[in-house]
Amino acid sequence: MTALALPLPVRSAWRRWRPGAAAWTTLGVFLLFAVLVPRFASSGNLVNVLRVAAILCVAACGQAIVLVLGGIEFSFGSSAALASVVGVLAVPWLGPAGGLAAGGAVVIAIGALNGALIAGFGLPPFVVTLGMLMAAAGAAASLVGGQPIDAPPSAAFAWPAAGSVATIPVPILLGAAAVTVLHALLSRSRLGRLWYLAGANPVAARLSGIAVGRVTFLGYLVAGAFCAVTAVVLTSRVGSGQPNLAPNLPFESIAACAIGGIPLAGGEGRAHQVVCGVLVIAMMNNAVVLLNFPIAAQQLVMAVVIIGAVLLQNAGSLPVMLRRALTRRPNA
Amino acid sequence: MRTALRLLGGQRFLVAPLCLLGAVIVFAASAPEFLTLGNVSNVGAQMWVLALLAVGQMFAIVTRGFDISVGAVAALSSTIAAHAVNALGPAGLLAGPLTGLLCGTLTGFLIGFLRLQPIVATLGMMIGVRGLALLVTGDGQVVPLHDADLASWLAFDPAFGLPPADWGAIGCILLAGALLGRAVLGRRLVMLGSNPDAAHLVGIDTARTQLRAYQLCGGFAGLAGVLVLLRAGTGLPTDGAGMELQSIAAALIGGTALSGGVARVFPVVLGAAFIQAVLTGLDLQGVSPFIAQIVVGLVIVAAGFLEFALRRFQGFAFHRRSWT
Amino acid sequence: MAASLEADRIAKAFGATLALRGASLHLQPGRVHALLGENGAGKSTLVKIIVGALAPDAGALRMAGRPVVFRSVREAMAAGIVPIHQHLSLFPHLSVLENLSAFALGCTRRAAASSALLPRAEAAARLETVGLHLDLDQPVAALSLGQRQLLEIARSVGRECRVLVLDEPTAALNHSEAARLFEVVRRLCAAGTAVLFISHRLDEIDAVADDVTVLRDGRAVIAGTPRSHLSREALVRAMLGTAVAAATRHLPEPGAPVLVAAGLRPGPGDAPADCVVRAGEVVGLAGLVGSGALELAAALAGARPAAGQLHVAGRRLPPGDRQQAVALGVGYVPGDRHAEGLFPVLSALQNASACSTRGLAPAGVLSPAREAARMLPWLRRMKLHPFLPAMKARTFSGGNQQKLLMARNLAIDGLRVLVVLEPTRGVDIAARETIHDAIADIARQGVAVVLATSDLDEAMALAHRVLVVRHGRIAAEILRGAARTNLLDALAGQAAA
């Protein structure tokens, strides 16, 4: 009964923020690299880590919303590619800022289309976003004949990736803003609560008077908006329309959420878990580069970390499973 | 009503042939050279890599899973087989399917026994296997075959109308058909996808059966890698990106149900043929191959719609029955 | 003759609730043994223990005199105990022949499926034993539910089937299908199988049972007595007991009509139902499983599409529109807690506030403080235990999960109508009291309550009047204070006619 001594909002806030497995993993990885990897803990390098993490983080925030809804979103990568191509092509008409905005609008439109197909017709998210992944990639490539096109050099175009506000790089600001917005949405907004409810049990949500279809649609739409920010920063960074801009974006964003401990079954997931997962991926990528590992080894390490981190989430049941795996089946 | 239901059940397998027919008619009407012997055999020659991948993918999907690492596994298999052939001669080609089998075993272990979700397990495998492929080739260098004649004989010299490698692919696909349709393992895969609880009740070792599904998937990806090797004459460590998605597309267009328990090999092959026909046909017309990608993407979404329509219509049929 | 299966002095507790307190059941080969008991008497627990789905805390299972321990349903099936229940273990995508051969396919070490399949003649013969004439290559998805049930029996009898457990097998069957099932049961008995038959329908018990065991409060009050020695009244008395006398709660005088249904038809086979529920009135809806009572209640709450008209406090409610229903103040506690009610991975507090998010978040901003302030009183009032509102709902006991669903609906802004389905199914006594108190309370505050339940005590104790639903139509109305046997007769007595 001592637990009741604290007023409930405080206790629930503590529960929400209690550092979970994901946070400890992140801290452990950080300390490990800080000790083992030379130059890792220098401030210049850490800013670099953050800068890379921030770009992925924004898209992973969008992915987290979709995962909370019990869905999955594969179309991020190629919609970002389409955004960069459209953005660069639009620069002559709309100017650099307008071009980037047009690119972002494309990503949001694709998110809305995904949401409409999934929510309106009950199509499986896997199939819809996979199809959209291919269609958007094809559209991006066909617009520019498969070749990258350069954007006319301009400060405005480069600003989202290279600019800074009060010495803080813009991507890091955007990443922080995205996490803040995600946290506010998930824990302090009605819409976020409805995402949790619809993801945890869609039937019960419908019977509780929730417009599950509309809520799902809005989820994919907002996820698209997050990805649009990532797409704008990536386009600005490469300074060109790349039909093959970020092929691994959907996979990395899913991996970041999974490492952070967001289950893919829906109804669970918080902003800080996204941050943890993204940081682990970014630190690892950075460390293997500092250690001069070949790309091959980087990818192997990444694979081990993804699978290992998700296995760790269910560490409790692992011994049972292993025993079952290693014994012959009974009464065959 | 019974026959109607069976027809409805069968309709999902009509999508692939109808799509293929539609593509052929459209392309033949707009570009007469599409139906020339040379072009048809061109499509035929190119489709087998995708067909092998899609058939493997089908084994994973029928148990309610999927495998997005098949493209990477095919690439790794092609490079390892190239090294093995250079060292051992033609027998080294076997290293391809063996590599695939090993990768599939690991994936299947993660999914069947350690209960990882297919997306996490196969995503990790995809990234790791890509890394391995780079590792065995010294950062992405292609591995040329020393004996280029062997490869070109196997892949391009027709014997009985088709090159030996294509005959091999057809043989493997027929084997897959027999496995799915006539073997106990195939029945168990379908049972597992159809009703996992009941599968456990009637004595099926579900974890082991899932392992087998991913082993088959990996093995077929390995075979596809060998075919890539023979056709290109070099092991390609970075090829196969995008193939995983096309293979899922071909399997879905071929009527395989993501919800498990429904699959046939022949329609899946036709699904692969359709995708290849679209790619080749648009290429012939001077349309960029990227438009073809759009078409394939839209066809995947349309396949999802088919499922939706079937559900609607079957619900309707059920209602009709309870009226009478 | 040695009994096929003896369950001896079985005890089982769930937390503080004793579901079984030394119940015994002896099944003889070649006889149909009916197991009767009210909801909560321990029937389903005993059945689960017999089929291997639960392990007993104390007591022994013996087959043909030898002690046996089942760690899973699979082990029990391997020993020859075959359960047949609602959610069938058939493979809808496979053919009839393959389903008949499922056990062989699961266990064989051969490679070719054809060698594991039954010979077609034998398969046809097995179908013949249950009176089915089917195309062996037809997919099971195309069969009716009755045909599937018979097919599952056929699949099992081919193996060594020593005990057949039929758990409410006729719930989803029509009359001729049920008759066919009984015929099959008798034929199997003649071949030496012991049959355990669980049903609420007394006329079915009359039709097939040789022996009867009646459970009450976890004990067998009639243990294996031949049916011919018992009158129907004796059975009913044994099931209800004399000490049940549930505390009848004070109910208010009904006020103005709130919920008005005109010509409401939840399913195409149902008769149009008209009913009026007044403010402060509790209307019971009673019916056996499959009678349509639950469906009618769901339709009244706007939780199920239906033909006909619904009005709440004079305003039209389109049937099947839960959004509109909640806005009009219609609460709905579904019968299937896990599938339709609970958000298992969310906290108790979030479960409780699921219907009230609009009121908690004006302008879309949710304040945890306001949420706690509004919802905690409801959780306290429902006596949530342990009182940990931040704990995930799936970690609570069934009774407390049910309290969460009640709290969620009681908290709806401007609640006018509360439709409750099976509110105390699988719930311990204390939780049951709490839930009943809450229902009576909310009625006193002028809410119109519809209470659909198969628990007759509950209906009698809480409702002003009970509408009895049979075969999709409202067949009778029993007023508060009528004898309980009237209700029982209305429910079951004429079902055979």
DSSP state of C262: E
Q: Is residue C246 part of a domain?
A: no
Encoding tokens for residue C316? 């039209």
CB-based contact A104:A231 (threshold 8 Å):
yes
Instruction: Give this complex's ipTM.
Output: 0.83
Q: Confidence class of residue B322 from pLDDT cuts 50, 70 and 90?
A: very low
Show Cβ contacts of residue C334 under 8 Å, excluding neighbours closer than 6 positions: A204, A207, C298, C303, C340, C341, C405, C421
Asked if residue C245 belongs to a domain, the reply is no
| Interchain pair A13, C322: CB under 8 A | no
Domain membership flag for residue A26: yes
Is it the case that residue A14 has pLDDT exceeding 70? no
Tell me whether the omega of the peptide bond preceding residue C386 falls within 30 degrees of 0, making it cis.
yes
Q: Are residues C125 and C262 in the same domain?
A: no
Structural domain containing residue A168? 22-311
B2: nearest CB among C77, C107, C142: C142
Sign of CA dihedral B2, B8, B13, B16: positive
Q: Find the CB nearest A190 among C343, C349, C357.
A: C357
Chosen from B50, B114, B136, B246 to mutate, greatest number of chain A CBs within 10 A: B114
Query: C113: number of CA atoms within 13 Å, CB side?
Result: 23
The Cα A276–Cα A262 span in angstroms is: 11
C117 to chain B: nearest residue by CA?
A: B184
Q: How many domains does chain C have?
A: 2
What's the pLDDT score for residue A64?
A: 96
State whether residue A17 sits within 8 Å of chain B by CB: no
> What is d(CA C351, CA A201) in angstroms, rounded to the nearest whole number?
11
Q: Is A331 within 8 Å of C78 when comparing Cβ atoms?
A: yes
Say which CATH number the domain at A183 has: 1.10.3470
Specify the range with the lowest mean pLDDT, choosing from A69-78, A131-140, B199-208, C164-173. Answer: C164-173
Which residue, C244, C83, C107, C207, is CA-closest to C156? C83
Q: What is the pLDDT of residue B172?
A: 94
Is pLDDT above 90 for A161? no
Q: How confident is the model at residue A68 (pLDDT cuts 50, 70, 90)?
A: very high
Whether C247 maps to a domain, the answer reads no
The C-alpha atoms of residue B194 and residue B189 are separated, in whole angstroms, by 9
C417: domain range?
257-493
- Please tell me the distance from the alpha carbon of residue A309 to that of residue B116, in angstroms, as a whole number: 11
Q: Is the separation of the CB atoms in B212 and B64 below 8 Å?
A: no
DSSP letters spanning C294-330: HHHHHHHTT-S--EEEEEETTEE--TT-HHHHHHTTE
Cα torsion A116, A121, A126, A132 to 10°: value is -50
Let me know whether C266 and C145 are in one domain. no
CA closest to A214 among chain C residues: C323
Decide if A1 is inside a domain.
no
Range from A114-123, A152-161, C407-416, C417-426 carrying the lowest mean pLDDT: A152-161
Q: Are B261 and B182 in contact (CB under 8 A)?
A: no
Per-residue pLDDT averaged across A181-198, rounded? Answer: 95
The whole-angstrom separation of Cα B151 and Cα A187 is: 60
Residues from chain A that touch B117, judged by Cβ atoms under 8 A, are 264, 310
The token pair at C394 is: 């799936």
Q: How far is A204 from chain C (nearest CA, A)?
A: 4
Judge whether B107 and B69 are in contact, CB under 8 Å: yes
Q: Is residue A97 assigned to a domain?
A: yes
Region A96-103 average pLDDT: 91
- Asked if C25 and C107 sit in the same domain, the reply is yes
Subunits close to C (at least 3 CB pairs below 8 A):
A, B
Do C94 and B203 make contact, defined as CB atoms within 8 angstroms?
no
What is the pLDDT, as a whole number, of residue A331?
37
* Digitized pLDDT (tens) for each residue of chain C, 497 residues in all: 577 888 888 998 876 667 888 888 999 888 999 998 766 678 888 888 888 888 888 888 998 888 988 888 778 888 888 888 766 788 988 889 999 888 888 877 778 877 888 888 888 988 887 888 888 888 888 887 778 888 888 887 766 788 888 887 776 677 777 888 888 888 888 888 899 998 767 778 888 889 999 888 788 888 888 888 887 777 777 776 654 445 677 888 999 999 999 999 988 878 899 999 999 999 999 876 667 888 999 999 999 989 999 999 999 999 989 999 999 999 999 988 888 999 999 999 999 999 999 888 888 898 888 999 999 999 999 998 888 898 889 888 778 899 999 999 999 999 999 999 988 876 767 788 889 999 999 999 999 999 998 777 788 888 999 999 888 888 889 888 887 777 777 776 544 33
- Number of domains observed in the structure of chain A: 1
Instruction: Judge contact between A127 and B301, C-beta under 8 A.
Output: yes
Query: Is residue A322 included in any domain, yes or no?
Result: no
Question: Measured between CB atoms, does B119 come within 8 Å of chain A?
Answer: yes
Residues C476 and C403 in one domain: yes
The domain over range B2-323 is classified in CATH as 1.10.490: no
Whether the CB-CB separation of C164 and C31 falls below 8 Å is answered with: no
Beta-carbon separation of C113 and B202 below 8 A: no
Pairing of strands C282-286, C448-453: parallel
Amino acid letter for position C332: Y
Substitution target in B180, B187, B318 with the highest count of C β-carbons within 10 Å is B187
Strands C315-316 and C330-333: unpaired
Query: Is C444 inside any structural domain?
Result: yes
On the question of pLDDT at A6 being above 60, the answer is no
Structure tokens at B102: 């090993």
**Domain for residue C275, yes or no?**
yes
Please, which residues bridge with residue C309 across strands?
Answer: C262
Residue A203 belongs to some domain of the structure: yes
- Nearest Cα of chain C lies from the Cα of B185 at a distance, in angstroms, of 7
Contacting chains of B (3 CB pairs or more, <8 Å) are A, C
C252 part of a folded domain:
no
Instruction: Determine the Cα–Cα distance for residues C140 and C100; give it in Å rounded to an integer.
Output: 10
Q: Check: CB of residue C82 under 8 Å from CB of residue C164.
A: yes
A17: in domain = no
Answer yes or no: do C41 and C156 share one domain.
Answer: yes
CB contact under 8 A, B6 and C110: no
Q: In this predicted model, what pLDDT tens digit does every residue of A202-245 receive, in sequence order?
A: 999 999 999 999 999 999 999 999 999 999 999 998 888 888 88
Q: Is the Cβ–Cβ distance between C367 and A193 less than 8 Å? A: no
Quick one: C289 and C425 in the same domain? Answer: yes
Residue B240 pLDDT grade (very low, low, confident, very high; cuts 50, 70, 90): low
User: What is the pLDDT, as a whole number, of residue B165?
Assistant: 85
pLDDT at B2 exceeding the cut of 70: no
Integer CA distances (angstroms), B175 to B93, B252, C52, C489, in order: 19, 20, 40, 63
CB–CB contact C343 A267 (8 Å): yes
CA–CA dist C489, C485 (Å, integer): 6
Instruction: Report domain extents, chain B.
Output: 2-323
Instruction: Pick the last residue of a domain from C188, C215, C240.
Output: C240
One domain for residues C236 and C261: no
Length of chain A: 332
- C363 inside domain: yes
Q: Taking a C-beta distance cutoff of 8 angstroms, is the pair B313, B8 a contact?
A: yes
φ, ψ of residue C87 in degrees (nearest 5): -85, 100
Sequential DSSP letters for C146-163: HHHHHHHHHHHHHS--SE
Rounded CA separation C407/C396 (Å): 14
Nearest C-alpha of chain C: how many angstroms from B205?
Answer: 8
| CB contact at 8 A, A53 and A175 | yes
| Predicted confidence (pLDDT) per residue in B40-53, tens digit | 777 777 889 999 99
C323 touches chain A (CB under 8 A): yes
Q: Alpha-carbon distance A221 to A240, whole Å?
A: 26
Kind and range of the H or E element at C299? helix C293-300
C404, C384 contact by CB (below 8 A)? yes
- Could you tell me which chain B residue has the CA closest to the CA of C92? B194
Considering all CA atoms of chain C, what is the largest pairwise distance in Å, rounded to the nearest integer? 75
Encode pLDDT of A263-294 as tens digits.
888 899 999 999 999 999 899 888 888 888 87
pLDDT of residue B166: 85
Q: What is the pLDDT of residue B323?
A: 26
Helix (H) or strand (E) holding C164: strand C163-167
Parallel, antiparallel or unpaired: strands C417-421 and C330-333: parallel
Of C73, C105, C114, the CB nearest to B182: C114
Has residue B117 got a pLDDT over 80?
yes
One domain for residues C145 and C281: no
Residues 6+ apart with CB under 8 A from B208: A329, B112
3-class SS of residue A145: coil
Q: Does residue A76 form part of some domain?
A: yes
pLDDT, mean of residues A154-177: 86
Domain holding C315: CATH number? 3.40.50.300
Measured N-to-C along each axis, helices B70-88 and B37-62 cross at an angle, to the nearest 10 degrees, of 110
Three-point CA angle C257, C261, C267, nearest 5°? 155
Which of these ranges, A16-30, A220-234, B169-183, has the smallest mean pLDDT? A16-30
For residue C87, the model assigns a pLDDT of 64
Task: Tell me whether residues B184 and C116 touch, CB distance under 8 A.
Answer: yes
A152 touches chain B (CB under 8 A): no
How far is C105 from chain A, CA to nearest CA, in Å?
12
Query: A132 pLDDT exceeds 80?
Result: yes
Contact criterion met (CB < 8 Å) for B5 and C111? no
- Rounded Cα distance, C27 and C358, in Å: 56
Q: Beta C473-479 vs C465-470: how paired, if at all? A: antiparallel
Contact A50, A283 (CB under 8 A): no
Q: Bridge partners of C363?
A: none
Q: Which residue has the tokens 């009182």?
A: C387
Residue C350 at interface with chain A, using a CB cutoff of 8 Å = yes
Q: Tell me the pLDDT band of A127, cut-offs 50, 70 and 90.
A: confident
Question: Whose CA is closest to C469, among C300, C258, C333?
Answer: C300
Q: How many Cβ atoms are within 10 Å of B29's Cβ, its own excluded? A: 10
